[in-house]
A and B are shown apart, each in its own frame.
Chain A
Amino acid sequence: MEDKASTSPASFINQAVVPGDVVLDLTNFSNQTIKLGGGLYQDSDAISVMKAGKLKFSKPNKYWVESSQKRYVPCVEDHVLGIVVDSRSDNFLVDIKGPALAFLPVLAFEGGTRRNIPRFEAGTLLYVRVVKANVGMNPELSCMDASGKAAEFGPLKDGYMFESSTGLSRMLLSSPTCSILEALGKKVSFEIAVGLNGRVWVNAESPSNIILVSNAIMRSESLSRVQQQIMVDKLFQRIQGS
Chain B
Amino acid sequence: METLLFLVDGRTPNQLRPLTCSRNVLNRIHGSASWSQGDTKVVAAIYGPKSGTKKGENLEKACIEVIWKPKTGQSGKPEKEYEMILRRTLQSICLLNIHPNTTTSVIVRVVNDDDALLPCAINASCAALVDVGIPLNHLAVAICCGVVESGFVILDPSKIEEQKMKAFVHLVFPNSVLSVLPEESLHVGDEAKEHGLISSVTHGRMSVDDYLHCLERGRAASAKLSAFLRKNLQSQVPSNT
- Taking Cβ atoms with an 8 Å cutoff, the residues of A that contact B are 1-9, 12, 16-25, 39, 41, 43, 46, 48, 50-54, 67-71, 73, 99-101, 135-136, 138, 167, 221-222, 224-226
B95 in contact with A41 (CB, 8 Å): yes
With known contacts A16-B237, A19-B137, A100-B102, A3–B95 Cβ distance under 8 A? no
Count A-B contacts at CB 8 Å.
131
Closest CB of chain A to B114's CB: distance in Å? 27
A12 in contact with B178 (CB, 8 Å): yes
Interface residues of B in 164-201 (CB under 8 A from A): 174-183, 185-186, 192, 194
Chain A residue with Cβ nearest B235:
A16
Interface residues of B in 46-93 (CB under 8 A from A): 48-51
- Taking Cβ atoms with an 8 Å cutoff, the residues of B that contact A are 30-31, 48-51, 95, 98-102, 130-133, 135-139, 174-183, 185-186, 192, 194, 223, 226-227, 229-230, 233-234, 237-238, 240-241
A222 in contact with B180 (CB, 8 Å): no
Q: A52-B233, A135-B99 provided; 14 other pairs, C-beta below 8 A? A: A1-B226, A2-B183, A3-B177, A3-B186, A5-B182, A20-B136, A20-B177, A22-B177, A24-B180, A51-B130, A67-B237, A69-B131, A70-B30, A167-B238
Most buried by A among B50, B130, B237: B237
B179 in contact with A50 (CB, 8 Å): no
Chain A residue with Cβ nearest B131:
A69
Closest CB of chain A to B94's CB: distance in Å? 9
B51 in contact with A3 (CB, 8 Å): no
Most buried by B among A20, A41, A50: A20
Which B residues are in CB contact (< 8 Å) with A12? 178, 180
Listed by A's residue number, 10 A-B pairs whose Cβ atoms lie within 8 Å are A3-B176, A3-B177, A17-B178, A23-B179, A53-B237, A54-B240, A70-B30, A73-B133, A100-B51, A136-B100
Report the separation of the CA atoms of residues A67 and B49 in the bound assembly, to the nearest whole angstrom: 17
Which A residues are in CB contact (< 8 Å) with B179? 3-4, 7, 21-23, 46
Report the separation of the CA atoms of residues A53 and B23 in the bound assembly, to the nearest whole angstrom: 14
Which A residues are in CB contact (< 8 Å) with B139? 18-20
B51 in contact with A19 (CB, 8 Å): no
Closest CB of chain B to A118's CB: distance in Å? 25
B178 in contact with A4 (CB, 8 Å): yes
A101 in contact with B136 (CB, 8 Å): no
Report the separation of the CA atoms of residues A86 and B132 in the bound assembly, to the nearest whole angstrom: 26
Chain B residue with Cβ nearest A23:
B180
Which A residues are in CB contact (< 8 Å) with B51? 99-101, 138
Which B residues are in CB contact (< 8 Å) with A22? 177-181, 186
A7 in contact with B233 (CB, 8 Å): no
Report the separation of the CA atoms of residues A135 and B95 in the bound assembly, to the nearest whole angstrom: 13
B174 in contact with A20 (CB, 8 Å): yes
- Which listed residue, A16, A17, A71, A135, touches B133 by the CB 8 Å rule? A71
- Which listed residue, B95, B101, B135, B233, touches A136 by the CB 8 Å rule? B101
Report the separation of the CA atoms of residues A23 and B178 in the bound assembly, to the nearest whole angstrom: 8
With known contacts A20-B136, A71-B132, A99–B99 Cβ distance under 8 A? yes
A224 in contact with B241 (CB, 8 Å): yes
A19 in contact with B136 (CB, 8 Å): yes
Closest CB of chain B to A117's CB: distance in Å? 25
- Which listed residue, B133, B178, B185, touches A21 by the CB 8 Å rule? B178
Closest CB of chain A to B97's CB: distance in Å? 8
A99 in contact with B49 (CB, 8 Å): yes
B241 in contact with A225 (CB, 8 Å): yes
Chain A residue with Cβ nearest B93:
A19
B233 in contact with A6 (CB, 8 Å): no
Report the separation of the CA atoms of residues A69 and B181 in the bound assembly, to the nearest whole angstrom: 29
Chain B residue with Cβ nearest A48:
B137
With known contacts A17-B178, A22-B179, A71-B132, A52–B237 Cβ distance under 8 A? yes
A3 in contact with B192 (CB, 8 Å): yes
Chain B residue with Cβ nearest A17:
B178
- Which listed residue, A24, A51, A70, touches B135 by the CB 8 Å rule? A51
B101 in contact with A7 (CB, 8 Å): no
Chain A residue with Cβ nearest B177:
A20
